[in-house]
Chains A and B, each alone.
Chain A
Amino acid sequence: DAGVIQSPRHEVTEMGQEVTLRCKPISGHDYLFWYRQTMMRGLELLIYFNNNVPIDDSGMPEDRFSAKMPNASFSTLKIQPSEPRDSAVYFCASSFRDVEKLFFGSGTQLSVL
């Protein structure tokens, strides 16, 4: 298995633009997580899904952020409109049967100018 696949690896955009990050979890995993990593706040859980259903979105910073999981092999995290303070590395992770042993993707480095 290729592991958790994220795209793009790097994204540079201007303030106000819409940004869409994509994730393909490991086949067979039933949990999917979106994390944001910054120097100031470390690794923050934004939202997680179980069997494609959002379970906890309490970490989503504000209404500009939304996440979807239309099927077991694909999820998106969208920021609209983007702001410079959204600049961070966004990780997707998946796990099998529980929320504990996470397998992370390579991350998307987002820069909002």
Chain B
Amino acid sequence: GENVEQHPSTLSVQEGDSAVIKCTYSDSASNYFPWYKQELGKRPQLIIDIRSNVGEKKDQRIAVTLNKTAKHFSLHITETQPEDSAVYFCAASDGNTGKLIFGQGTTLQVKP
């Protein structure tokens, strides 16, 4: 089955800097890769996703890149703001069942 690893586990940046979170997956048949943001005490919410036929997708200050050959994908946040502070989860779809397998999460702290 699918296995997803996420790095780093914690990340601290200054406001205005960029943040990058990386994930690797094991199932070459995976074709869907979402990112979820979970603020403290809140529910995870989908912020961006990418499919395997696309190499990059942007939404304002957030972008996701996918390298299918290397089986890794990354979340890029530019011009970080204190409200970006949260736990970010990557996920990959299991190639057989389609169900999402989540990474362990990255706690991002943006210092004002």
Contacts and interface: CB of A to CB of B under 8 A. Distances in A.
Q: Do A and B come from one complex?
A: yes
Interface of A: 42-45, 48, 56, 91, 98-107
Interface string B88-112: 0100010001111111110000000
6 contacts: A42-B89, A48-B99, A98-B98, A101-B34, A101-B46, A103-B46
B93 A42 contact: no
Interface of B: 32, 34, 42-46, 49, 89, 93, 97-105
Contacts, number: 44
B100 A45 contact: yes
Contacts of B105: 42-43
Nearest to B1: A58
A105 B42 CA distance: 9
Shortest beta-carbon contacts, A-B, top 8: A104-B43, A43-B102, A42-B104, A99-B98, A104-B44, A99-B99, A100-B32, A106-B43
Contact of B99 (A45, A101, A104): A45
